[in-house]
């Protein structure tokens, strides 16, 4: 069986050294996404990037301890994504860290194993 439909992709850009207390912000976001019953979340670690300050972060051997870029992607129905945005806002406010959040329209193709 194939299920298709329009949904939203929530993409969150942040650094791997961003913390909320002792918890990495990316772990807090994924945990909250799970509590909110979102379809899933995936965290990607970048090997190079820069943000608002134009400072390049890279995985070169001598700079491994630098703040590496992360991207979290979550795809779900628009209503569920919209309900999750205030939670994200609170996390970023409490962590006092920078980040970028984008939302775009996507088409879901989900394959379900037939019985």
Residues 61-94: tens digit of each pLDDT:
555 556 788 999 999 999 999 999 999 999 999 9
CA geometry: angle 78, 84, 88, nearest 5 deg: 135
pLDDT at 32 over 70: yes
pLDDT at 1 over 50: no
Task: Please tell me the predicted confidence (pLDDT) of residue 55.
Answer: 64
User: Taking Cα atoms as reference points, which of 57, 62, 31, 30 lies closest to residue 46?
Assistant: 57
Its pTM surpasses 0.75 = yes
Residue located via tokens 């703040």:
67
pLDDT at 37 over 90: yes
Is residue 68 within 8 A of residue 46, CB to CB? The reply is yes
Q: Which fold has domain 2-67+79-106?
A: Alpha-Beta Plaits (3.30.70)
Task: Please tell me the predicted confidence (pLDDT) of residue 5.
Answer: 84
pLDDT at 101 over 80: yes
For 77, counting Cβ atoms within 10 Å of its Cβ (0-12 exposed, 13-18 middle, 19+ buried), the class is middle
């Amino acid at each position: 069986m194939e299920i298709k439909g329009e949904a939203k992709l929530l993409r969150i850009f942040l650094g791997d050294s961003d913390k909320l207390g002792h918890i990495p912000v990316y772990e807090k976001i994924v945990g909250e996404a799970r509590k909110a019953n979102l379809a899933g979340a995936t965290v990607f670690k970048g090997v190079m990037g820069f943000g608002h300050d134009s400072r390049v972060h890279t995985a070169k051997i001598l700079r491994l301890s630098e703040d590496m870029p992360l991207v979290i992607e979550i795809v779900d129905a628009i209503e569920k994504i919209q309900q999750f945005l205030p939670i994200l806002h609170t996390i970023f406010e409490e962590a006092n860290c920078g980040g970028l959040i984008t939302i775009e329209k996507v088409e879901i193709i989900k394959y379900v194993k037939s019985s």
